């Protein structure tokens, strides 16, 4: 974190209620959550974590997560979206520096209120003497929601101070490092990895761009430059490749394959498949199975 090439993408306060609908998602940037009031849960990859007032949660880039409230309990939190950093467990970095590929699975000897949920996820319950963290985050949220004089400069300075102090305060257990995706293709790489997992979902370029907090034109240009193909065409190629596999190694019906791969109908699946391969799905199966 020597150069502090970071950017605050957003700072806001969220409140959960019965109308909230959060789905499992990830970002090419890190997030810091502070629970202001009530209780809730966070789904982190394959874990479910309970959250309560004064909890500080640090989620690094690429970690799939989703928030939810507990019925009958108010649930409010601050969240910061920060581009350019990775939040990592110190023990992992030390092992890497020593050339040890086997990660230490034991929890470091730290404050009992702290917990590494994943290598890149950190949960800590703030004590009264750590109130400065909550106050700094609250100030960032307040500044972000108002058009004060020199607000952007103030937010940048506050964010750097916050990250430096967090890095110092949790030095024995936590490392804030430069984001390894912080290169010219970081958004394209993130979207490619996202589509590798979610290629069966009917996602638009607008939705993909919103995950990166950039415009769809910027994303389309960056993806095309990095991979010589558009994001939507890349998704289509992933689907066709999987369709070829299913046609040759399974006995699934055509409508099942079309539905499983996210096509709106079997006829549309047939149309796209023939356009890409020159054969209908049935012809391809007969030829290769």
Whole-structure pTM value: 0.64
Q: Determine the 3-state secondary structure of 235 from DSSP.
A: helix
* Contact yes or no for 7/82 (Cβ under 8 A): yes
Structure tokens at 156: 């940048």
End-to-end Cα, the chain, rounded Å: 54
Q: Which CATH architecture has domain 186-288?
A: Orthogonal Bundle (1.10)
What residue spans in the chain does CATH classification 1.10.10.60 cover?
186-288
CATH 2.60.120.280 residue ranges of the chain are 7-178
CATH topology of domain 7-178: Jelly Rolls (2.60.120)
pLDDT tens for each residue of the chain, 289 residues long: 556 678 899 999 988 765 555 677 778 889 999 999 999 989 887 788 899 999 999 998 878 888 888 877 789 999 999 988 888 776 543 443 444 433 333 333 333 356 666 667 888 899 888 889 999 999 999 999 888 999 999 999 999 999 999 988 888 878 887 765 445 577 888 888 788 878 888 889 998 988 888 899 999 998 998 888 999 999 999 999 999 989 998 999 999 999 999 998 999 999 999 999 999 999 999 988 7
């Amino acid at each position: 974190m020597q150069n502090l090439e970071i950017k605050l993408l957003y700072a806001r306060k969220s409140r959960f209620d019965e109308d909230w609908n959060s789905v499992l998602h990830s970002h090419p940037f890190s997030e810091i959550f502070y629970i202001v009031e009530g209780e809730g849960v966070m789904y982190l990859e394959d874990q479910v974590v309970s959250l309560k007032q004064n909890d500080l949660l640090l989620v690094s880039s690429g970690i799939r997560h989703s928030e939810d409230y507990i019925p009958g309990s108010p649930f409010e939190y601050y969240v910061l979206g920060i581009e350019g950093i990775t939040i990592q467990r110190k023990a992992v970095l030390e092992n890497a520096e020593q050339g040890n590929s086997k990660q230490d699975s034991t929890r470091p000897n730290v404050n009992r209120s702290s917990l590494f949920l994943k290598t890149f996820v950190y949960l800590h319950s703030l004590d009264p003497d750590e109130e400065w963290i909550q106050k700094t985050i609250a100030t960032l949220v307040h500044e972000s929601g108002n058009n004060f004089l020199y607000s952007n400069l103030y937010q940048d300075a506050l964010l750097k101070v916050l990250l430096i102090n967090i890095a110092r305060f949790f030095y024995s257990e936590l490392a804030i490092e430069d984001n390894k995706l912080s290169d010219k293709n970081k958004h394209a790489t993130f979207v490619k990895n996202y589509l590798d997992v979610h290629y069966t979902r009917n996602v638009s370029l607008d939705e993909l761009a919103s995950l990166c907090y950039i415009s769809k034109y910027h994303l389309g240009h960056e993806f095309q430059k990095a991979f010589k193909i558009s994001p939507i065409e890349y998704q289509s190629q992933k689907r066709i490749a999987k369709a070829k596999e299913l046609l040759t190694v399974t006995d699934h019906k055509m409508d099942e394959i079309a539905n499983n791969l996210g096509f709106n109908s079997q006829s549309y699946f047939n149309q796209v498949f023939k356009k890409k391969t020159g054969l209908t799905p049935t012809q391809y199966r007969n030829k290769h199975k």
